[in-house]
Homo-oligomer: A and B are copies of this chain.
Amino acid sequence: MPKRDPTTPDGARRSLLVMWTIRRFEEALEELFARGVLHGTMHLSIGQEAVAEGVAAALDEGDFITSTHRGHGHAIAHGADLERMFAELLMKDTGYCRGRGGSMHIADVAAGNLGANGIVAGSMTIATGAAFSQMMQGTGKVVACFFGDGAANEGAFHESLNLAGIWSLPVVFVCENNQYGMSMAVDKATAGGSIVRRADAYGIPGVRVDGNDVVDVFRNTSEAVARARRGEGPILIEAVTYRYRGHSKSDRNLYRTVDEIEQWRKSRDPLDRYEARVIDEGWLTSDQLEECRIEARDAVRRAVEAAFRAPDADPADLVGAAYA
């Protein structure tokens, strides 16, 4: 999708639409899951929509993202086709991965989504390689690498930031700090207590943003992207946010309180806050707001319905499929 500025009327409409689409998409998945028509598990990013959209909005056409196990939002914000996403989860041959990948592996390499990844921090070295590729080819393109607070303790984090640092690669590392890596509170897992502070260890800038404020995410990412595009190297952005749902479908939420969840939901929801802002700043009217919501809901509905009608993934196609 083309760059958009969520602080302009036109951009606000598009950003709001993206954020509502992400939420409605994942709510629809929850329903499908409850109906038993999905397989496996899934990781929902409800509550974190501002990070996905704030980053994606700051990217130019042709820029790349790498994503995580909690990647529906990233894919949608980067322009994924909803029907193909649903089709993937519904095990259809028309899905992004022909039913072979599922929730954790939505990818559209040609369109610049280098893929969701089931390995925590698994996409960090890949993002670094893709950024290297841009530098070598002189494309002027940038890679935005999403990862979680938990991923920041993997060796891959360290090796990636170091390599990107010494070679000044055009990659923006975006840590979605949603307070937990599964059940592990970020403070318990992170020596030093701060992820963004780690940037300094690699001599690169680090910036902490309000991950529930799409405008804050957008502005800081835009600067980081511009800097990277100028060849000045990587940046680490820590976007502070929160996940409302359990880690995955098996989560009993024993490691946090209902109160904590409610607190975030009530006072810091990224959609509520952005909608209020959009009205406040006069970027959109409340009618236009409502139109966005409806448009998102309808798009999701249409996509599910269409996906259901698609042909199932075909076991006969598996022979030799491990190789190109």
Name A198's closest neighbour in chain B (CB-CB): B201
Copies of this chain held together in the complex: 2
Partner of A192, one of B163, B188, B200: B200
Q: Are A192 and B197 interface neighbours, CB within 8 A?
A: no
List residues 159-186 of chain A with CB under 8 A from any CB of chain B.
159, 161-166
Q: Are A191 and B202 interface neighbours, CB within 8 A?
A: yes
Q: Are B191 and A197 interface neighbours, CB within 8 A?
A: no
- The reply to whether the CB of A154 lies closer than 8 angstroms to some CB of chain B is yes
- The reply to whether the CB of A276 lies closer than 8 angstroms to some CB of chain B is no
Most buried by B among A155, A163, A193: A155
A31 to chain B, nearest CB (A): 39
A158 contacts across to B, CB distance below 8 A: 153-155, 157-159
Name A188's closest neighbour in chain B (CB-CB): B166
Contact (A200, B203) CB under 8 Å given A166-B190, A188-B166: no
A188 contacts across to B, CB distance below 8 A: 166
Give CA–CA (A318, B300) in the complex, Å.
66
Name A193's closest neighbour in chain B (CB-CB): B203
Give CA–CA (A200, B156) in the complex, Å.
19
Give CA–CA (A201, B188) in the complex, Å.
15
A190 contacts across to B, CB distance below 8 A: 162, 166
Q: Are B153 and A159 interface neighbours, CB within 8 A?
A: yes
Q: Are A161 and B191 interface neighbours, CB within 8 A?
A: yes
A156 to chain B, nearest CB (A): 6
- The reply to whether the CB of A307 lies closer than 8 angstroms to some CB of chain B is no
In addition to A155-B159, A164-B191, 16 A-B residue pairs with Cβ atoms within 8 Å of each other are A153-B159, A154-B158, A154-B159, A158-B158, A158-B159, A162-B189, A162-B191, A165-B191, A191-B203, A192-B200, A192-B201, A192-B202, A192-B203, A194-B203, A200-B201, A201-B201
Instruction: List 18 interface pairs A-B (beta carbons < 8 Å), by A numbering.
Output: A153-B159, A155-B159, A157-B158, A158-B158, A162-B189, A162-B190, A164-B191, A166-B188, A191-B201, A191-B203, A192-B200, A192-B201, A192-B203, A193-B203, A197-B201, A198-B201, A200-B200, A201-B201
